[in-house]
Amino acid sequence: MSLPLNSHDDFEGFGREVFGQKFFGRKFSERKLPGRKLFERKLPGRKLSLFLDFDGTLAPIAGTPALAELPPASREVLRRLCFIYPVAVISGRGLVDIREKVGLTGITYGANHGMTIRSGPSGPGSRLSGTVSQPSGSACRGFEMDYDVGAERLVELRAAAKVLGAVEARYEGLVMEDKGATLSLHYRQLPGVQVEALMKELDNELAPFKERGLVRVTGGKKVVELRPDVDWNKGRAVEWILGREPFISTYPVYIGDDETDRDGFRAVRGIGASVYVGAEDKDTSYHMEQSSVVGFLRWLIEFGVSR
């Protein structure tokens, strides 16, 4: 099971378990590790890299996607963090949206669940089709990638967007997002008594799309998402980014709160640490409360300066 990562003692324990180091000359707190072999992952001298979800991780969950905001104090911590570690924000939001929400340069953005990646200044980039990838750009120039989902799947998504738009119009409290390569239907503000009816209607309306197999229907926290049915997700995006400078040979720490983040957790298993924002979790290294995220990132700044 995951270990807690909410207090200063927990943060120090993380440093010891991952790097086997002291913090400002003080001994790290001892913690019981039943059935765990975290010490096998000690990587002295290896630099951290950070992969962070946005909604529910960096920013508190809001009633609608438009209302979600990154607190100014968190933005400042994130800005300082980028001077010490390579940082990527991996989100289901569209590229323009997530860039505006975070509002920082010097960060790698993985939008649309990692299907659109931008890092640093715009460069020549690369386009992926299937599982083939090619390096692009350099550390100073940045890199970019757009996953090619194929014309047929894009046409299918356009048709699905019309269906979801019609469903949205029939319910008070639904918010549909069309992000080009993905679609989201948020029902956080829908009265609870209507959720069952909505799910039944969506099952009927989306059945033809499921049968054709060109798009994938998934769920999240009060959201139904449609994505191209391709072999690409947040985890694949993490793996791709880890093959580019300045992420190469780093120890990746992935922090997220949603089901789509589990692909990211799997991507860093055995080579890094996974942190679930929520209750104790059997599939991740650590768990934390959303209110502890910025404190942990602030601690990482101090830890990085002290090394």
CA 101 to chain centre: 14
Is 53 noted as a catalytic residue in this protein?
yes
> Own/partner pairs for 141-145, CB < 8 Å, 24+ apart?
142/118, 143/117, 143/119, 143/244, 144/117, 144/118, 144/119, 145/116, 145/117, 145/240
Cα–Cα distances in angstroms (integers) from residue 143 to residues 48, 91, 126, 135, 244, in the given order: 19, 17, 8, 8, 8
Listing DSSP states for 67-116 in one string gives G----HHHHHHHHHHTTTS-EEEE-SS-HHHHHHHH--SSSEEEEGGGTE
Distance CA 19, CA 13 (A): 10
Q: Catalytic pick from 9, 10, 53, 229?
A: 53
Among residues 5, 69, 17, which one has the least CA distance to residue 280? 5
Question: How many other C-beta atoms lie within 10 A of the C-beta of residue 272?
Answer: 24
Q: What angle do CA 284, 285, 290 make, to 5 degrees?
A: 75
Distance CA 2, CA 51 (A): 18
Return the residue matching tokens 């020549």.
124
Question: How many other C-beta atoms lie within 10 A of the C-beta of residue 290?
Answer: 15
Return the residue matching tokens 């104090």.
73
Q: Which residues are catalytic?
A: 53
